[in-house]
Amino acid sequence: MNNVVLSVLLASLLLVGCGNSNQTTSPPTTSSSTNNVQPPKASATIGNERIQTVINGYQWSDGNHTSIGDAASDPAKNLKKYDATVGERVTFSFDQKPKSIKLAMWSNGKQASTTALNNPSFSLPSEAGDYTYEVTGQWGNDYVNYDFEVQVH
């Protein structure tokens, strides 16, 4: 009789242990580019004209997830080149204000300059030509590169 009671008790414990088999748990949160964590948008203007920018590489997190986007070799290749006047002012605005801003300029496929900006605006060069710009906003460990092209006359 003790064997029967012991067998029933053991079978009950096994069934209770397996009773939650339909319950699922979420996988642990990890850094990945598949999470829906989007970096802030930004826009640029020259005079009264709004300029199309493209995000070219970023790392952005919301505290629980991190999203990383790789930089393309020539992200502005298919962008419209905006006409501008020598020395004209470009103003950049962000959906979320960055802690720091860096500007890189390319001419003839080569990086011509890199500089830190104290405010989100800069002047176009004094020489005519086609220029690709990359404005990098930095938010702590997060960053976003925004690219656009200008044809200076």
Does residue 4 form part of some domain?
no
Q: Range of 74's domain?
A: 44-152
Q: Which amino acid is at 124?
A: L
Query: How many domains are there within the chain?
Result: 1
- Residue 22 located in a structural domain: no
Q: Closest Cα to residue 56, out of 111, 142, 152, 135? A: 135
C-beta of residue 123 within 8 angstroms of C-beta of residue 88: yes
Ranking 7-16, 48-57, 108-117 by mean pLDDT, the lowest is: 7-16
Using one digit for the tens of pLDDT, what is the confidence trace for 66-92?
999 998 877 667 788 999 999 999 999
| CATH assignment of the domain containing 116 | 2.60.40
Inter-residue contact 31 to 65 (CB < 8 Å):
yes
Q: How confident is the model at residue 152 (pLDDT cuts 50, 70, 90)?
A: very high
